[in-house]
Chains A and B, each alone.
Chain A
Amino acid sequence: MHRGAKAWLDTSGWRRRLKEYALILRLLMKSPPAAVGLIIVLIYLGIVIYDQFWVPNNDVMIANFSATGPDPPFWWPGGKAAGGWMGTTFPGIDLADAVLKAVRIDLIYSTFVVLTGALVGSLIGVVAGFRGGLFDEALMRGTDVTYSIPFLVFAIAVAFALQKRDFLTINMILLILWWPPYARLVRAQSLSVKELKFVEAARAAGASDARIMLRHVLPNTLAPVFVQISLDLGVVTQIFAALEFIGFNAGNLFLPELGNLINIGWTWGFESHPWTILMPGIALLIFTVSVNLLGDGLRDVLDPRARR
């Protein structure tokens, strides 16, 4: 029986899951702030992909040293066509081009940090929550310690200690600090999920602890993790920008990065050349606000009570 329906059988499960995701998307689009957040985040992602595949020299800003100073955008009072859409900053860097490239770099690195942190943290958290015991205790005390360290100060201190102030080092430092919140989050969730009866049913079926953790406990703890990821994307991008701003770019002065751009603009002064700071600043602001909107929307949608 139903042997003939096997082809249907294999794809139908996926179709059904996709339908569930489509429902989440529909619910998300119902709330205007979340929808706006989602759309803006998608636009930024589009920029990243475009930069990655179709823009040459996407990791360096094109400078024109013959330029005398920053030009305002063409729509700025007193602007010239040479300024382009967002104006230029010294030395003759087209801000429109630089901001687009900066978005790619910032997003890729912050996504890398957040996703790696979430992955490592979730795995450690689920093991800690499920197994308990000494490992759990050690982990929790460990995260307590990391909570007491301010990110920026720690990053600066380590970078100075290593005598390396390039972008990769910052990445590595942030990675060390970024998983513990996820571990806590998942641990707290899995403590309650593991008491549910389906975990016991799986054990009675002979499932191994690893399978129970990965197949049953972990998926049921992920909703707040997704929310946290989307909120953290904004935070990490800001931290990158902040570190770049205070000069953690020893490796590459022409690295297209929002904080770096703001730094360059800042040396020219806000009063005389406001667009050099405003343009990268607004790009950063819009992204941070939109991931926050998206995160808040996700929090509501992923809450099962919202799905009536």
Chain B
Amino acid sequence: MPPPSKDRNEILLAARGLKKHFAVKGGLLQRAIATVHAVDGVDLVIRRGETVALVGESGCGKTTLGRLLLRLIEPTEGDVLFNVPEDVFERMRANGPAATQDDGQTKELIRQYSITRRRRRSMKALRRFMQPVFQDPFTSLDPRMLVKDIVAEPLLVSGLATRPEAYEQGARLLEEVGLRPEHLYRFPHEFSGGQRQRIAIARALAPEPEFLLLDEPTSALDVSVQAQILNLLKDIQRKQNLTYLLITHNLSVVRHMADRVAVMYLGRILERKRTAELFSNPLHPYTKALLSAVPVPDPKRRRERIILPGDVPSPIAPPAGCRFHTRCNAVLPHCGWSPRDIAATAAHMFDPSRNPDASELPPLEEVTIRGDEVLLLRYREPATESNRLGVEALVKARAERPEGIAFRAIQYVRLDGGRILLEFLPAKEPELLEIVPHHFVACYLYPGVTSATN
């Protein structure tokens, strides 16, 4: 076990194929009836001294990822590596994702650096190096404790200081975050939101951590206070050489804080790059939409807005292929359209009683989805070749229209024992690839992006 405080290795924290699935329980016996894919295979590297921002809408799994990195919850699969030397990490990466199973040496390395495979007891010694700051300062401070006890708690539980030392340290920390020592003897409810967040930061700084997880640290605060807190965080980082992971849905905060950005959607990372480049040249359509959603404080500039339609789909059954394709404004036929995207439309469109254009078809009996690629139409009488041609023509006509993009993904229209089969392009998830140096995108719009291997 490498003592993490002594040799300060380049890579402070890394996620490796990290997954977290929650079981949805239901029914009389509280049995698992579905799985929420909160984090679904994330690779992320956080180097010492940098600020990485994790951006996405609520429900995309970014908070879960943060909790996994601190091992506040146990991952379903994958590892969180802590304090890894660059060369070791390269070796792990070179041996590939499959290496965990067969290559004994890599497996040993991973076991050595992984904090998710540690025992709970030995994990406790590492806790002080990684501290969180939460979004809502109104619930993150125990209302029954004095500020001095709140700030001193991490020191006391990790045995870093005696009680008087801890209180003295607390007074010093409060000054550092811009409060006064007499605030030690107050209860949290006597403070405003911004001041509470300062207390939460002081608590996180108490055990002299190396890594702070900032989970939406300013989104519950006023705009004017937000700038103060961001300045404070930057200041502390510069003084103590801290590493930050900043979780936020607001890209304007990212611009001022982060060195690198990872954009997350439905448990996957869609784009990863340096902050400045993200703002000057966003590549993924989702990133573009996020960027344009930030309101501009200038009434004269009327910017072209990309309004994302609808909400984030349910992580219980994330869309096939590229997870963003259902809301994407630059979507392609091979982005992962599947029969369930058009099943409702099809029931309407291929039914002669509801769609006059389909009048020559026999009455539609049933529409079924088979697997991820096939939609079955069953008519009251066995379909003939001319019926097939009719359906094909309808599909073609619909595919011409701009909203018929999903129909362009229909590869073949076939006859199968009196039923008509609509076969879709296979839905594969795009892989996160380096399009421009240091700029990773998972989107089929960019040449060279192939489907991921999993």
Contacts and interface: CB of A to CB of B under 8 A. Distances in A.
Interface of A: 1-3, 5-6, 9-10, 12-13, 15-17, 20, 196-198, 200-208, 211, 215-216, 219-220, 304
Interface in B175-190: 175, 181, 184-187, 189
A2 B72 contact: no
A206 B154 contact: yes
Contacts of B141: 198
Q: Chain A binding site: helix, strand, loop or mixed by DSSP?
A: helix
A10 B146 CA distance: 13
Contact of A205 (B139, B175, B207): B207
B158 A205 contact: yes
Contacts of A20: 187
Contacts of A13: 146, 148-149, 185
Interface of B: 67, 70, 72, 124-125, 127-128, 130-132, 134-136, 139-146, 148-149, 153-154, 157-158, 164, 167-168, 171-172, 175, 181, 184-187, 189, 200, 203, 207
Nearest to B146: A13
Given A1-B171, A2-B171, A205 B142 contact: no
Given A200-B67, A215-B142, 18 more contacts: A1-B175, A13-B185, A16-B186, A16-B187, A20-B187, A196-B139, A197-B139, A198-B139, A198-B142, A201-B134, A202-B142, A204-B72, A206-B127, A207-B153, A211-B157, A219-B144, A304-B143, A304-B189
B146 A205 contact: no
A218 to B, nearest CB: 9
A204 B130 contact: yes
Contacts of B157: 202, 205-208, 211
A232 to B, nearest CB: 23
Contacts of A202: 142, 153, 157
B42 to A, nearest CB: 20
Contact of B168 (A2, A198, A201, A205): A2
B33 to A, nearest CB: 19
Nearest to B188: A198
Contacts of A1: 168, 171-172, 175, 181
Contacts of A205: 127-128, 131, 153-154, 157-158, 203, 207
B64 to A, nearest CB: 12
A179 to B, nearest CB: 23
The 4 nearest A-B residue pairs measured at CB: A205-B154, A206-B127, A197-B140, A219-B144
18 contacts: A3-B168, A6-B164, A9-B164, A13-B146, A13-B149, A16-B185, A196-B140, A197-B139, A198-B141, A198-B142, A202-B157, A204-B70, A204-B127, A205-B131, A205-B207, A206-B127, A206-B157, A215-B153
A28 to B, nearest CB: 18
Nearest to A8: B185
A12 B185 contact: yes
B371 to A, nearest CB: 38
Contacts of B148: 13
A197 B213 CA distance: 14
A15 B185 CA distance: 9
A16 B175 CA distance: 20
Nearest to B67: A200
A220 B143 contact: yes
A298 B48 CA distance: 52
A10 B168 CA distance: 11
Nearest to B148: A13
Contacts of A211: 157
Contacts of A206: 124-125, 127-128, 154, 157-158
A207 B167 CA distance: 18
Contacts of A208: 157
Given A12-B185, A16-B186, A200 B153 contact: no
B171 A197 contact: no
Contacts of A6: 164, 168
A147 B53 CA distance: 53
Contacts of A15: 185
Nearest to A211: B157
Nearest to B71: A204
A12 B144 CA distance: 16
Nearest to B154: A205
A135 to B, nearest CB: 16
A207 B145 CA distance: 15
A174 B142 CA distance: 35
Given A2-B168, A211-B157, A198 B140 contact: yes
Contact of B132 (A2, A10, A204, A304): A204
A201 B72 CA distance: 9
Contacts of A220: 142-144
A207 B152 CA distance: 12
A133 to B, nearest CB: 12
B152 to A, nearest CB: 10
Contacts of B167: 9
A1 B180 CA distance: 12
